[in-house]
Structure 1
Amino acid sequence: MSAELPLVFSVTSGKGGVGKTNMSVNIACCLSRMGKRVVLLDADLGLANVDVVLGLAPPRNLFHLFHEGADLGSILCEMPYGFRILPASSGVGEMLSLSTGQKLDLLEAMDVLEDSVDYLLVDTGAGINDNVLYFNIAAQERIVVLTPEPTSLTDAYALIKVMKLNHGVEHFKVLVNMAGDMKAAREVFSRLYKACDHFLSGVSLDLLGYVPRDRTVRRAVVEQTPFCVLDSRSPASLAVQKVAETVQTWDVSASLDGNIKFFWKKLLFR
Structure 2
Amino acid sequence: MDQAESLRRLASQMARPKRKARAIAVTSGKGGVGKTSLTVNLAVSMSRLGLRTGILDGDLGLANVDLVLGITPQYNLSHVLHGEKRLEEIAVPGPEGICVFAGGSGVSELANLSHWRLQRFVQSLSTLDQDLDVMLIDTGAGISRIVMSFLWACDEVIVVTTPELPAITDAYGVIKLLVTENPSAVVRVVVNMARGEAEAERVLYSLQAVLNQFLNRRVSLELLGHIPHDAAVSRSIQEQSPLVIAYPASRAAASIEFIARRLVAGAPVQQSAGIGGIFQRMATLLRKRPERN
Q: Please say whether Structure 1 and Structure 2 have the same fold, judged by a TM-score greater than 0.5.
A: yes
Deviation at 1:218, TM superposition (A): 0.6
Counterpart in the other structure of 2:130: 115
* Distance in 2 (alpha carbons) for counterparts of 1:64 and 1:266: 20
Cα 1:239/1:3, change in 2 over 3 Å: farther
Counterpart in the other structure of 1:209: 225
Q: Which has the larger radius of gyration?
A: 2
Dislocated runs of 4+, deviation >3 Å: 94-98, 102-106, 166-171
User: Does residue 243 of the first structure (1) align with residue 259 of the second (2)?
Assistant: yes
Task: List runs of 5+ in structure 2 lacking aligned partners.
Answer: 1-16, 286-293
Letter in 1 for 2:191: V
Stretch deviating more after TM superposition (171-180 or 2-11): 2-11
Counterpart in the other structure of 1:126: 141
Question: What is the SS of the residue equivalent to 1:86?
Answer: strand
Counterpart in the other structure of 1:99: 111
* Distance in 2 (alpha carbons) for counterparts of 1:78 and 1:18: 26
Of 14, 32, 35, the match for 1:17: 32
What's the C-alpha RMSD, in Å, of the aligned pairs?
2.0
CA deviations 1:111-159 (Å, max 9, x no partner) are 3212111101111111111111111111111100000111100000011
Of 49, 52, 61, the match for 2:76: 61
Cα 1:166/1:112, change in 2 over 3 Å: closer
8 Å CA contact retained: 1:79, 1:85: yes
Counterpart in the other structure of 2:194: 179
- TM-score by length of structure 2 reads 0.84
CA deviations 1:84-136 (Å, max 9, x no partner) are 010233xx6x8656424175454132132121111011111111111111111
Stretch deviating more after TM superposition (23-32 or 4-13): 4-13
Percentage of identical aligned residues? 35
Deviation at 1:263, TM superposition (A): 2.2
Question: What is the SS of the residue equivalent to 2:143?
Answer: coil
Q: How many residues align?
A: 265
8 Å CA contact retained: 2:26, 2:35: yes
8 Å CA contact retained: 2:55, 2:135: yes
Deviation at 1:196, TM superposition (A): 1.2
Letter in 2 for 1:243: I
Deviation at 1:45, TM superposition (A): 2.6
Counterpart in the other structure of 1:83: 98
